[in-house]
Amino acid sequence: MKTTDSFGRPVVVVTGMGVVTSLGQGKADNWSALTSGRSGIHPITRFPIDHLATTIAGTVDFLPSSDKGASALTYQLADLAAEEAIAEAGIPTDDFTGPLFLAAPPVELDWHDRLALYASAKEEDGFRNLLANARRRRERDYFDASQFGTIADRLADKFGTRGLPITLSTACASGATAIQLGVEAIRRGECDRALAIGADGSATAEALIRFSLLSALSTQNERPEKASKPFSKDRDGFVLAEGSGALVLESLESALARGAEILGVMRGCGEKADDFHRTRSKPDGSPAIAAVQAALSDAGMSDSEIAYINAHGTSTPENDKMEHLSLSTVFGERMREIPISSNKSMIGHTLSAAGAVEAVFSLMTMRESVIPPTINYDNPDPAIELDVVPNRKREADITSVLSNSFGFGGQNTCLVMAREPV
């Protein structure tokens, strides 16, 4: 088997995958829920919903850290996904010996900690009181939870990854960027394998309110499982969610040498920034178009070779329209026939984790020859003519997938994956 691609670079394959979403922990549970069209979206119980316009989410509520704050939960989500991925790859779980790329949400001192700190003594006024209490109490846990490097440091410690771990954020494209960084490092010959994780456990009340104030969230609270309806006419926003996806990326040469099972191939990654607006895409869709084209060209593939698209499909009026426009421009008339589905119809938008979670599901789609559906597709948007694999899974022989990730701040990252090495 040829271990370099058409550009002479090492072929990068996936040898381990792990996932956690509101649907459950691990690939088996997630896949069975996803292919039976089950939604993980539910009423919020983590915090009171008084005064909130949106009262539903795809939070991960079944873990010990689920009520311990964004930093602790994000760590646990990343930890569980990575453990599953590394174990599947057949690599010792304490001696990974490749670099770590972690997509994670920006962290802040948790409100509960801030309130506790402020109230612990009242000696001074305003911010000076907070600083004085911080100085006096030296709460190492508060400190660690508010440092951006902590989660990756702990993961690196546990899994024995090599060197300085990279924590990154490209908003809702973060998970895809983590994979891209790993692919690039292997192609540069810096390592034989890399651990790419996207994790997000940041569904706090404040996070929900922030997105709500930007009118980004669905307010269809009455039937939570019906709220996320990508490409439907009555879609009204995304559903905030949590989750994690982890992938062991490895050079084909290294995977073959150690006899590892090859779960799929990372053929190409492409990106293009948008300079139009902080939250809105350029009306002509040119940055998203360029990102898709860059991924295809990096994969050395033509658009005719893409068999299925794992959509960004957030269920916001803006994204789904823009994604349709961009894809129609790249794929032309054929876009009506390419199956495209949105995992977010069931798991909601896992933000920093989304790109990694959806890459795992994309690879499973090829391996299992089953396309998970876009659920809640009861009222199609006539302006968006797509085969969204409505409401029911579909058996199909899929050899290649395009996965899209678009985010605030003009972030557009696309991945092209294949079932088997060429």
Partner 1 sequence: MSARDVMITGIGMVSSLGEGTDAHWQALTAEKPTPVLDCERFSPYLIHPLPGIDWGLQIPKRGDQRQMETWQRLGTYTAGLALDDAGVKDDEALVASMDMIVAAGGGERDQAVDQGILDAAMTRNDHDILLNEKLTTELRPTLFLAQLSNLLAGNISIVHKVTGSSRTFMGEEGAGISAIETAAARIRSGQSSHILVGAAFQTEHPDMLLAYELAGYLSRGDWTPVWQREKAEGGGVITGSGAAFLVLESREHAEKRGRKAYAAIGPVVSERVRRSRADLAEALTGMLESLPPRDGTIMTLSGASGAHAATAAEKQALSTAPGFAIRGFSSLTGHLKEAQFPFAIALAALAIERGHPYPVFDAENEQPLEGAPETVLATAIGYNLFEGMGLVTKA
Instruction: List, in order, residues 6 or more apart from 304 with CB less than 8 Å away.
Output: 334
Min dist. Cβ of residue 12 to partner 1 (A): 13
Does residue 8 touch partner 1 according to CB under 8 A? no
- Based on the shown chain and the rule CB under 8 A, indicate whether residue 202 belongs to the binding site for partner 1: no
Closest CB 170 distance from partner 1, rounded Å = 5
Residue 350 contacts partner 1 per CB under 8 A: no
Site for partner 1 in 166-185 (CB under 8 A): 166-171, 177, 181, 184
| Total residues at interface with partner 1 (CB under 8 A) | 78
Give Cα 402 distance to the centre of its chain: 14
CB atoms within 10 A of CB 95: 11
> Is position 284 an interface residue for partner 1 (rule: CB under 8 A)?
no
In degrees and rounded to multiples of 5, residue 96 shows phi and psi of -70, -35
| Bridge partners of residue 18, in order along the sequence | 246
CB atoms within 10 A of CB 266: 27
Residue with Cβ nearer partner 1 (150 or 232): 150
Q: Quick one: which of 305, 312, 261, 264 has its CA closest to 285?
A: 312
Residue list 392-421, contact with partner 1 (CB under 8 A): 407-411
Quick one: 92 or 163, whose CB is closer to partner 1? Answer: 163
Q: Exposure of 50 by Cβ count < 10 A (0-12 exposed, 13-18 middle, 19+ buried)?
A: exposed
Residue of the chain from 1, 28, 121, 164 that contacts partner 1 (CB under 8 A): 164
Over the window 304 to 343, marking each residue x when it contacts partner 1 by CB under 8 A and - when it does not, the resulting string is ----------------------------------------
Give whichever of 123 and 337 is closer to partner 1, judged by the CB atom. 123
Pairing relation of β-strands 400-407 and 308-310? parallel
User: For partner 1, which is the closer residue by CB, 171 or 255?
Assistant: 171
The smaller minimum CB distance to partner 1, of residues 112 and 336, is found at 112
Contacts to partner 1 from residues 375-394, by CB under 8 A: none
Q: What span, in angstroms and rounded, lies between the C-alpha atoms of 293 and 402?
A: 11
Taking the C-alpha atoms of residue 134 and residue 138, their distance in angstroms, rounded to an integer, is 6
Of positions 3, 97, 120, 279, contacts partner 1 by CB under 8 A: 279
What's the CA gap between 328 and 322, in Å, rounded? 10
Which residues are designated catalytic?
A: 172, 312, 349
98 contributes a contact to partner 1 by CB under 8 A: no
CA–CA separation, 132 vs 109, rounded Å? Answer: 16
403 three-state secondary structure: strand
Q: Least separation, in Å, of the C-beta of 42 and partner 1?
A: 18
277 lies in the binding site for partner 1 (CB under 8 A): yes
CB of 231 to partner 1, least distance (A): 26
Q: Does 300 bind partner 1 (CB under 8 A)?
A: no
> Do residues 300 and 330 make contact, with C-beta atoms less than 8 angstroms apart?
no
The one segment of 71-79, 208-216, 318-326, 342-350 that binds partner 1 by CB under 8 A: 208-216
Smallest distance, partner 1 to C-beta of residue 127, A: 4
Chain positions 108 to 127 lying near partner 1, rule: CB under 8 A, are 108-109, 111-112, 114-115, 118-119, 122, 126-127
Phi, psi of 126 (to 5 degrees): 55, -140
Complex with partner 1: residue 135 or 337, whichever CB lies closer:
135
The residue ranges of DSSP E strands in 165-300, in sequence order, are 166-168, 193-200, 243-251, 264-271
| 3-state SS record for 6-29 | CCCCECEEEEEEEEEECCEECHHH
Per-residue binding string, partner 1, 41-80, x by CB under 8 A, is ------xxxxxxx---------------------------
34 touching partner 1, by CB under 8 A: no
The neighbour count for residue 214, using CB atoms within 10 Å, is 12
Instruction: By CB under 8 A, name the one of 12, 81, 156, 363 that touches partner 1.
Output: 156
As given in the structure block, the two tokens for residue 378 are 């009861």
